[in-house]
Amino acid sequence: MTTSPAVERLLARMKRLPVLSSFVLRFQHLLSSPNCNTGQIAELLSEDPVVTGRIIRLANSPLFHRYKEVTSVREAVVFLGLEQVREVVLSLSIISLFPLKAGEKCFDTHLFWHHSLSSAHIARHLAGAYSLASPEEAYTAGLLHDIGKILLNHFFPEEYGKVVQKALQMGGNYLAYEREVFGADHCEVGEALALKWALPRELTATLRFHHNPSPEMSPLVALVGFSNLFSKQIGFAFPWEFRPLIFSSDPFWRRLCQHGEDVATIDEELFTFQIEDVVPRIREIIAMSMKGDD
């Protein structure tokens, strides 16, 4: 994969690209080990007091009905489970690269992260339930699929504001407005960041092609493309993005049905309820990202 001259010029204008912390990379590596255990996870988490505080805060939040207060990171890991701890650590780490701000007038980063996190949960749920992909990779891909948007807004807020304003006024093809202003769209920019981060090839492809379905796309690309659309369907969409999603006519959905025989049998109403059930947890993660570190 190579980046276009327009993307290279954009990257050159960015003073310092965000990088994944060594802590996150070590955490991901530890979780991938077959010998990983709760004690090792708790020990590593304890090296980062911010992450420790937030994991404990989540375990004690009203989302969970605890009869006893959680006071240690080990207790929190046992209570929440490795899957949920992985989600929180990755989500908070990615969000922290682009600090949330109050009172933003153009690009609503709170809505952006609500959309990204809900897309991640949708992708993980489908991946696990229908053996379409690794649930962990699906979650990461769903979380990062629109990272090009936040990157452009972070470094070029005035120019990106023009994209948003045009989309609000004119509707139509948002990607075309990005190309008009920047010479490239957020999919291309997201792919370039993924290459800089040395993310796996298939995960990188989800950032590049989640708006561009093709008959040859991988299950992971189809999964993220559909999750992106379904997240908007349940309310996490910018005003210019929403459109009714009809499963049977969506190319991403049709591709998923080719890879998982039971996918076509999904009850849309029940599936919507299952995803909306995790929305309070998504809101809590974003709220934790806004708070000062204890």
- Tens of pLDDT, residue by residue over 169-203, are 998 789 999 999 999 999 999 999 999 999 999 99
Average pLDDT value for residue range 275-289: 87
Q: Give the rounded distance of the alpha carbon of 247 from its chain centre.
A: 22
- pLDDT at residue 291 above 60? yes
Question: What integer pLDDT is reported at residue 294 of this predicted model?
Answer: 47
| Residues 259, 138: Cα–Cα separation, whole Å | 15
- pLDDT at residue 290 above 90? no
Q: Which two tokens stand for residue 62?
A: 């009203």
Q: pTM of this prediction?
A: 0.92
Query: 236 Cβ partners below 8 Å, 6+ apart?
Result: 111, 114, 115, 118, 119
| Residues 5, 23: Cα–Cα separation, whole Å | 33
Q: Are 208 and 221 a contacting pair, CB within 8 Å?
A: no
In order of 44, 97, 107, the CA distances from 91 in angstroms are 17, 10, 20
| Residues 100, 130: Cα–Cα separation, whole Å | 34
- pLDDT at residue 289 above 50? yes
Average pLDDT value for residue range 267-278: 89
- pLDDT at residue 148 above 70? yes
Nearest in space to 49 (alpha carbons), one of 289, 291, 294: 294
Q: Are 276 and 234 a contacting pair, CB within 8 Å?
A: yes
Give the sign of the dihedral formed by CA 104, CA 245, CA 258, CA 211. negative
Q: What is the DSSP letter of 67?
A: S
| Residues 40, 7: Cα–Cα separation, whole Å | 41
Average pLDDT value for residue range 142-155: 96
- pLDDT at residue 96 above 70? yes
Residues of the chain with pLDDT > 90, as a percent, come to: 61
Q: Are 252 and 226 a contacting pair, CB within 8 Å?
A: yes
- pLDDT at residue 98 above 90? no
59: alpha, beta or left? (left if phi > 0; alpha if psi -120 to 50): alpha
Cα angle, residue 99 at apex, residues 96 and 100 outer, rounded to 5°: 120
| Model confidence pLDDT, tens digit, residues 23-81 | 888 998 898 888 888 999 999 999 988 889 989 988 888 887 777 899 999 999 999 99
| Model confidence pLDDT, tens digit, residues 221-262 | 999 999 999 999 999 998 888 788 999 899 999 999 998 879
Count of Cβ atoms closer than 10 Å to residue 273 Cβ:
11
Confidence bin at 104 (pLDDT 50/70/90): low
Question: What integer pLDDT is reported at residue 102 of this predicted model?
Answer: 57
Count of Cβ atoms closer than 10 Å to residue 33 Cβ:
9
Residues of the chain with pLDDT > 70, as a percent, come to: 95
Phi, psi of 241 (to 5 degrees): -100, -25
